[in-house]
Structure formats: C-alpha cells, structure tokens
C-alpha cells in the first residue's frame, strides 16, 4: 500500500514509519506544521509541534530512507482545535485538544488529502491495535502496553477512518520501542515524550486563556463568586472561571477552612455569571452521564450495552450501562467517578474493544 506516515519528530512515530516501510509499504513521511507563526513554536521537548521536532522528523525519514514533506495545516488546526478549545472553556466546559486534533486533523484533514493524492492509509505512532472482526468491520482495541495505551484519544475515529489507518506499535511496549529505535540508528531513541498542550508555549493554560479569551471577545464576565454548595455562602471571588476545573482542590484561595476541616473541591462552573461552586469530596461522586455528539467506531448500538467507560486520558475504567438515544447516549455508572466535567470525552469499551465515544454534556450526582 501507499501510506502516509505522520511523523511528529518523536520516537514513536519514527519507529512506526520504519516498521511500515519494513513491512513493504510505499511510505512517505509528513510532518504537520500547525502554528500560524513559526516564532511561537516553543523550544525543548514539551510539545509535538516545534521547529526542533520538524528537524528530528526529517532526520528520521532520511535514516529510514523515505521521502519527507512538511504539510501546512495551521489554518485548519487553528479553527478546529484552538478556537474549539477557547470556545469550550468560555462555556464552562473542559475539552481535550489532543482528542480533537486526532478527530479533525490527523484522521480527517490528513486522510482526506492523502486519499485525494492516491494514498491508501495513514500510519501513526499511536499505541492501539486494529483487528478485523467476525462481521468484517475493523475493530480498535487497547494496546498491549496499558501505561501507553492511546485508544481513548482515538475513540473519535469512524469505521471509514479506521479502515484507512495503521497503528504498528500497538503490540509493543515503550521500552521495546526505544530499544528498537536505537538499533535502527534513529537519533530520537532517547527523546523525552511530548506533554502539555502543544499550542500553549509556556504550559500556563490559565494565563493563556486569560489573554486569548479576553482578546477574542469570548468573555463577557471575567470574574465571579466562589460559593459553598448547599448554603450558597460566598467564600471568595475570582478573576476568571476558566482557571478552574471540576474536581480542583488546590488554588481556590477561599481562606477559612470548611466547618468539618476538610478541603473543598470545585463542583460546578457557571460561565454566564462566573459562579464557581465548591463542596466536599463526597459531592464530587458522579453516577450518571448524558453524552452528545456520538461517534461510533463500528455498528451503532441500538440496545442497552453493559460495558466499561473511560472518562479521561489514562484514567481508570468504570463499569457502566450505556443507553443509546436519538441524539447521543446516557450512561449509568456502576462504579461512581469523581472530577468529571462537561466537555470531556466518554469512550465506551466492550472488553478491550473501543465501541465509540461521546462528549459529556451533563452529569448526575
């Protein structure tokens, strides 16, 4: 097959490209330029979109012996990922930009262009496994390396996208990948993993949101009250509700301790008035979810499904019953979860298989 290897500049994508070439595919490496202003690219190994990363990807392609190109997708990334991130926070939700990037950029924009150019598939360094099910559909399963499994952030992929994807690393652990990169002579063998949000150069998400939300006119009410759940007592004030997330304990700056002497946690964020509600840890427990924007990896379920759900990247699984509806699905959590916020993704699993996902619109306590 003719395949595009999305090369971020890290060790995983480099080994994935090398394995695809070794398997006999005709591989072309591409690096995605996602910043409108190259001067805003950060230095070091904090993200996955730096100038250094582009150079590392090019060197890896040279070692593998494959053609290499840089694709400028900065406008689409800005619209589909950055602006979405801003709008979600302005509305009091907590988005996952990496999941959105997979959905809108790596397996939509890249795949669309690749298919138009005559390529058959996109290969990435994600840790997940693909199998053909008994019904002939492509199934996505968790990776062998549970600590590196990335099926959660791939839970937005459709059957058509899975049919044009390759994940060569799903059956391998991260230490084995680094050892293989060393054997192949790839200079990125010991490169640290990327982390943080790639488009926030200093890692200060709250400060970045302060600047961008005000600059873009997203924010009408910058400040608000911090109130006690139940009593409604005003405990303090803040300068921006987007600096808080559901389940947050530190940095509340509300002075006096609770009557029981135990810490308070953020329970709710109301973006219009700016009100942040805090309460006890017990009040964080969530037993039900309402999810919208469903995306199914295969056949859409039509009856209640006994399954597990994962509610954050690298988070634990919760036993659940999923009930499909007209515009989404509801979830009854048999194992209550804490710190769950609207905007996060709920990814549904049947054993190790990813069934699909939805965006959390509401929770029940």
Whether residue 147 lies inside any domain: the answer is: no
Q: Are residues 35 and 92 in the same domain?
A: yes
Residues 77 and 181 in one domain: yes
- List the chain pLDDT tens, one digit each, 365 residues: 999 999 999 999 999 999 999 999 999 999 998 876 554 444 443 445 677 888 999 999 999 999 999 999 988 998 999 889 988 888 888 888 888 998 889 899 999 999 999 999 999 999 999 999 999 999 999 999 999 999 999 999 999 999 999 999 999 999 999 999 999 999 999 998 876 677 777 777 878 888 787 765 555 456 889 999 888 889 988 888 888 889 999 888 887 666 677 889 999 988 878 899 999 888 999 999 999 999 999 888 999 999 999 999 888 999 999 999 988 999 999 999 998 989 999 999 999 999 999 999 999 98
CATH of the domain at 260: 2.30.30.280
CATH number for 120:
3.40.50.620
Extract the tokens encoding 252: 């509340």
- Domain membership of residue 231 (yes or no) is yes
Active site residue 198: yes
- Domain containing 344 — which CATH number? 2.40.30.10
| Residues 144-169: tens digit of each pLDDT | 999 999 999 999 999 999 999 999 99
Whether 275 and 312 map to the same domain: the answer is no
- 355 occurs within a structural domain: yes
What is the model's pLDDT at position 260? 72
In a domain, 324, yes or no: yes
- Do 29 and 100 lie in one domain? The reply is yes
Establish how many alpha carbons lie within 13 A of residue 355's alpha carbon, considering only the half-sphere containing its beta carbon: 23
Last residue of a domain, one of 283, 301, 327: 283
Contacts for 42 with CB less than 8 Å, ≥ 6 apart: 50, 201, 202
Sign of the torsion angle spanned by Cα atoms 55, 313, 360, 240: negative
Do residues 339 and 230 share a domain?
Answer: no
363: β partners: 289
Predicted pLDDT of residue 186: 96
User: 179 and 39 in one domain?
Assistant: yes
Residue 148, domain member (yes or no): no
159 CB neighbour count, 10 Å cutoff: 14
Task: Say whether both 34 and 93 belong to one domain.
Answer: yes
Range of the domain at 68: 2-125+168-190
pTM above 0.75, yes or no: yes
In a domain, 71, yes or no: yes
Q: Which of 48, 49, 98, 198 is catalytic?
A: 198
Q: Which of 101, 291, 307, 346 is catalytic?
A: 101
Same domain, 60 and 183: yes
Asked if residue 326 and residue 266 are part of one domain, the reply reads: no
Instruction: Look at the chain and report how many structural domains it folds into.
Output: 3
Instruction: Look at the alpha carbons of 244, 247, 248, 252 in this order and tell me if their dihedral is positive or negative.
Output: positive
What is the per-residue pLDDT for 43?
Answer: 45
Domain boundary among 283, 302, 325: 283
Residues 96 and 241 in one domain: no
Express each pLDDT in 275-292 by its tens digit.
999 998 889 999 999 999
Whether residues 9 and 56 fall in one domain? yes
Residue 137 covered by a domain: no
Final residue in a domain of this structure, among 261, 283, 305? 283
CA–CA separation, 223 vs 292, rounded Å? 29
Cα(82)–Cα(135) distance, integer angstroms: 38
Q: At what angle do helices 174-183 and 11-22 cross, to 10 degrees?
A: 70
Task: Indicate whether 67 and 180 sit together in one domain.
Answer: yes
Burial of 346 (0-12, 13-18, 19+ CB in 10 A): buried
1-51 pLDDT, tens digit each: 999 999 999 999 999 999 999 999 999 999 998 876 554 444 443 445 677
* Domain presence at residue 216: no
């Amino acid at each position: 097959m003719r395949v595009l290897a999305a090369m971020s500049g890290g060790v995983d994508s480099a080994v994935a490209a090398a394995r695809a070439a070794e398997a006999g595919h005709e591989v072309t490496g591409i690096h995605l330029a996602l910043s409108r202003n190259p001067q805003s690219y950060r230095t070091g190994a904090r993200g996955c979109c730096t100038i250094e990363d582009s150079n590392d990807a090019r060197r890896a392609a040279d070692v593998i012996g494959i053609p290499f190109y840089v694709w400028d997708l900065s406008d689409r990334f800005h619209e589909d990922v950055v602006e979405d991130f801003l709008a979600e926070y302005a509305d009091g939700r907590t988005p996952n930009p990496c999941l959105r990037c997979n959905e809108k950029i790596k397996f939509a924009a890249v795949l669309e262009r690749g298919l138009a150019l005559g390529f058959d598939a996109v290969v990435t360094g994600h840790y997940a496994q693909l199998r053909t099910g008994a019904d002939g559909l492509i199934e996505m399963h968790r990776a062998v390396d549970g600590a590196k499994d990335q099926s959660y952030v791939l839970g937005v992929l459709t059957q058509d996208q899975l049919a044009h994807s390759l994940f060569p690393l799903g059956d391998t652990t991260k230490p084995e990948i680094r050892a293989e990169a060393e054997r192949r002579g790839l200079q990125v063998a010991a490169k640290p993993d990327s982390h943080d949000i790639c488009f926030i150069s200093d890692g200060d998400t709250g400060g970045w949101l302060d600047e961008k939300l005000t600059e873009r006119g997203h924010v009408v009410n910058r400040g608000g009250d911090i109130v006690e759940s139940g009593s409604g007592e005003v405990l303090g004030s803040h300068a921006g509700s987007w600096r808080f997330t559901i389940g947050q304990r530190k940095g509340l700056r509300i002075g006096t301790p609770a009557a029981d002497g135990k810490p308070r946690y953020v329970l709710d964020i109301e973006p219009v008035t700016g009100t942040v509600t805090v309460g006890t840890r017990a009040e964080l427990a969530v037993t039900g979810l309402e999810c919208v924007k469903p995306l199914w990896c295969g056949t859409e379920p039509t009856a209640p499904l006994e399954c597990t759900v994962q509610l954050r990247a690298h988070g634990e699984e919760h036993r659940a019953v999923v009930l499909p509806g007209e515009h989404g699905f509801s979830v009854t959590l048999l194992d209550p979860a804490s710190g769950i916020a609207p905007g996060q993704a709920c990814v549904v699993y049947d054993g190790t298989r990813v069934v699909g996902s939805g965006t959390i619109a509401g929770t029940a306590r």
